[in-house]
Homo-oligomer: A and B are copies of this chain.
Amino acid sequence: MKKIINDANQVVLDMVKGIAAAYPDRLKHLPDTMVLARKQPAGSEKVGLVSGGGSGHEPAHAGYIGEGMLDAAVSGEVFTSPTPDQVFEAIKAVDNGAGVFLVVKNYTGDVLNFEMAAELADAEGIKVEHVVVNDDVAVEDSSFTSGRRGIAGTVFVHKIAGAKAEAGGSLEEVKSVAEKTVANARSMGMALSSGTVPAAGKPGFQLADDEMEIGIGIHGEPGIERKAIASADEIAEELTNKVLADIDFAAGDEVAVMINGLGATPEMELYILNGKVQELLAAKNIRVYKTFVGEYMTSLEMAGCSVTLLKLDEELKELLDAPSQAPAFKM
């Protein structure tokens, strides 16, 4: 294992401190927690927006804290759900009386712990609603997950729910656009190599030198198939066609595209992949409204990528375009 760390058992705390130190005017680290929260302007009465999950997916989730996006992010241990008490601390920190909305990726531990936190908050009179993101079309049920996994599409949920909350939307309105985003987002990924959890000290899985895995999860959960590495064009086709087959995309539909790197993939390769994805969409007369290429939802230093399509309507376009000051998603 080659990593720039101090102590394999303390990477999350060191990271949280390092994030807070990068943006001291915008972020506060809640004492004795793994919660980072936005420094609210006093008197704000907006709905609070909280997300989080296991660490190792940076910039998810703390990179999405900022005006127009999240109000707080909870970092669990690497690839491990945050505990309910930590999520509860985040909820309390961002509640301004208008309620708090939770964006949860579909992993059994995350769903359980965020729901327990919501119950704790409810007992203290804080209104909490949530959405579970399950955009990964690769497999039904998986390690850690019942149903489909939540992956890079989650970032679109942060953006769109965040814009609605920032615009003064009610808790129900924020929930409604978040649910619409989940219903309209589909993703699929692939990997060339594994990341290494610091405390484990070795890669989570092994792929041969000529092998890739299609449909892999962001914790290295098994995908659909291991096979010989294909060309970028073939990978683009396989991922995009699977995504397109899963939802009723019709000619003339408008979509947002996210070409996401999983941690160690050079941006050059993401753009090469993007070229083919755009061609495939054009061939089906699906109009691309906006494209995002970069690392949005990673898996430590996994080499690989995912393709996300979000079907848009006028409301989603407007919310996607709204300003955001989150360091990892400035608009």
Contacts and interface: CB of A to CB of B under 8 A. Distances in A.
A294 B296 CA distance: 11
A272 B5 contact: yes
A22 B293 contact: yes
Contacts of A235: 4
A204 B215 CA distance: 30
B298 A266 contact: yes
Nearest to A257: B22
Contacts of A295: 267, 295
A11 interface: yes
Contacts of A265: 4, 301
The 7 closest A-B pairs by CB, nearest first: A18-B275, A18-B271, A264-B264, A58-B267, A330-B330, A4-B269, A21-B278
Interface of A: 2-7, 11, 14-15, 17-19, 21-23, 55-56, 58-59, 63, 192-193, 195, 209, 212, 229, 231-233, 235, 259, 263-276, 278-279, 291, 293-295, 298, 300-301, 303-305, 327-328, 330-331
19 contacts: A2-B209, A3-B192, A3-B266, A4-B192, A6-B233, A11-B268, A14-B232, A18-B272, A21-B274, A21-B275, A22-B259, A58-B271, A59-B294, A263-B264, A264-B264, A267-B295, A267-B298, A268-B300, A295-B295
